[in-house]
Homo-oligomer: A and B are copies of this chain.
């Protein structure tokens, strides 16, 4: 009988969930959202401006400032209830004149190779840095080799991303410690510099930058770190096998400045029923400086802007307050995300749902949810509504860096999960440009996000609304 009761409960639950699934109104609303996004979407035009008129938007740069003003102006055109700038101090680091590097296999016999300074790295001495090279595959190997083998050398981290992982973000996660902590670890054993294989699955000539940390190492003991293209890394590795005593030379002119004033850009449709409960959708407005930041994360910003525009266009009046937040400084500080969460706490703003798009403007495959089981069960029941758009992937997992600081008990955080195969071909490199974004793929992402926000607003989170009743 226990089994029977459990069975009845399951059937009742499924019935309640299915009542949502097959809701014709929801199905029609989502169809309408997709139709509008694909015929009258604005994300692609906005991205064109951000990428081609403004360009790479590194925190503290004039381009980042221009992007703040531009997106504020565009949000003001949408007839939202509020649009404002939220001040935040951000780090300022500049690359300076382009880096230069070569591999010298014998005196007078050298070949140039493509490198770029890692974000936050100290510069090389004015005349550049030349030293012998030791190749390693992990941070652990540094400790094993010890000071004797490392002292005075350039450490070359060359563990590639694992191509067999279907989720390329998992492959990235399995490698990025080399970039983030490589200089910090190598410096402890007397290395004079660090060269890191670019975090990319593509074999090409683009070096990929990205953030790194020196931890609490004093400034005068920090060693310069650069990324080398994957093709350059393969070449260097082969050359080392033939000539272990070769020299590597690189020169970089990057520089850190005091923090500067910047802003998160925020727009809001105030809720008709629960104006003091907030659902936010966002991406980060800053980018690295090598490309124009189209995929990372211009795409997420313009999609998030289009979510609010699409809600208005289909005539949906949300019950909760819906905000678009364009975060500043995700790439090298996360100051925007932290400041937004801090202000929310100070103002006692009850954030119940946050959605971030920061995985590129590719065909959406689904969403990843950081939530409790009750909320996830409700979300999972909406999956059939997205199946006509070939959006199948609704799984528990991470969300987004910028919305992470908002996390609290009972809150739902989510991340758009686009097809990830091409993302790291472009990520943090000069190849992250507008022409690598397909208009329809971008628009489908904006539509999927709008659909999720609509459902979340209509049904509420289980935390606020309690269990589903039939």
Contacts and interface: CB of A to CB of B under 8 A. Distances in A.
Nearest to A167: B390
A34 interface: yes
Contacts of A439: 202
Nearest to A41: B163
Contacts of A202: 439
A365 B389 CA distance: 12
Interface in A414-435: 419, 421-422, 425
B438 A38 contact: no
A351 to B, nearest CB: 30
A430 to B, nearest CB: 16
A166 interface: yes
A363 interface: yes
Range of interface residues on A (Cβ < 8 Å): 20 to 34
B39 A363 contact: no
A362 to B, nearest CB: 9
Given A390-B393, A438-B425, A440-B201, A419 B363 contact: yes
A444 B35 CA distance: 30
A348 interface: no
A164 B440 contact: no
A409 to B, nearest CB: 31
B441 A39 contact: no
Given A419-B363, A438-B421, A390 B166 contact: yes
Residue of A164, A425, A440, A441 most packed against chain B (CB within 10 A): A440
A288 to B, nearest CB: 21
A467 to B, nearest CB: 29
A7 to B, nearest CB: 14
A164 B441 contact: no
A439 B202 CA distance: 8
Residue of A39, A392, A393 most packed against chain B (CB within 10 A): A392
A388 interface: yes
A415 to B, nearest CB: 15
B441 A421 contact: yes
A164 B39 contact: yes
Interface string A91-118: 0000000000000000000000000000
B166 A389 contact: yes
Contacts of A444: 166, 421
B441 A422 contact: yes
Contacts of A419: 363, 419
Interface in A381-430: 388-390, 392-393, 419, 421-422, 425
Interface in A30-62: 34-35, 38-39
A433 B425 CA distance: 18
Contacts of A393: 390, 392
A263 to B, nearest CB: 34
Contact of A39 (B163, B425, B438): B163
Contacts of A421: 363, 438, 440-441, 444
Contact of A422 (B34, B389, B438): B438
A91 B374 CA distance: 63
A201 B44 CA distance: 14
Given A390-B393, A421-B440, A421-B441, A38 B363 contact: no
Given A419-B419, A421-B363, A163 B390 contact: no
A425 B441 CA distance: 12
A34 B34 CA distance: 33
A34 B440 CA distance: 28
A441 B424 CA distance: 13
A68 B39 CA distance: 43
Nearest to A443: B163
Contacts of A390: 166, 365, 392-393
A437 to B, nearest CB: 11
9 contacts: A38-B163, A38-B164, A166-B388, A166-B390, A201-B440, A202-B439, A363-B419, A363-B421, A422-B438
Interface of A: 34-35, 38-39, 163-164, 166, 168, 201-202, 363, 365, 388-390, 392-393, 419, 421-422, 425, 438-441, 444
